[in-house]
Amino acid sequence: MALTWPGAGAMMPAHSIARYSVKYVRELLKGNTDSLLLSLISEKPMYGYQIIKELEKRSQGYFRFREGTLYPALHRLERQGYLSSRWERLPGGQERRYYQLTEKGSRNLARMTQEWQGFATAVNLVLRPVPAS
């Protein structure tokens, strides 16, 4: 069975569309990993598992971070000075590594957010042009 790919006019089988979508979303996510993480952590200090759950909940299941991607990204952001971390003991006795935004991270997040808003507006303008009157 073949379906049309919206907007492109090309014929593509359904499984190809699904594969393309997964790849496209993965690429989008890869490009925005840092801003999503910094944005979440800017609200309150969080630990890795909590970040995954929170991101999934907020995006209504759209974003599902692989654990193997999340932790190296958190460590990279910490080494770049955007995050700092500390170990805390939970009431149950378990220890968790909490990440929090630094001053530098905060400035970087503001810059990234501004860039993203400009980019998203431009993409929307191109994808949904104002109909000619």
Q: How far is CA 107 from CA 74, 83, 86, 104, in A?
A: 17, 12, 21, 5
From 16-24, 93-101, 111-119, 120-128, span contacting another protein (CB under 8 A): 93-101
Find the shortest distance in angstroms from Cβ 37 to another protein: 13
Q: Does 116 bind another protein (CB under 8 A)?
A: no
Q: What is the C-alpha separation between 73 and 54, in angstroms, rounded?
A: 16
Q: Give the x/- contact pattern for another protein in 40-79, rule: CB under 8 A.
A: -------xxx----------------xxxx-xxx-xx--x
Q: What is the C-alpha separation between 35 and 17, in angstroms, rounded?
A: 27
Neighbours of 5 (CB within 10 A): 13
Residues forming contacts to another protein in the complex (CB under 8 A) are 47-49, 66-69, 71-73, 75-76, 79, 94-97
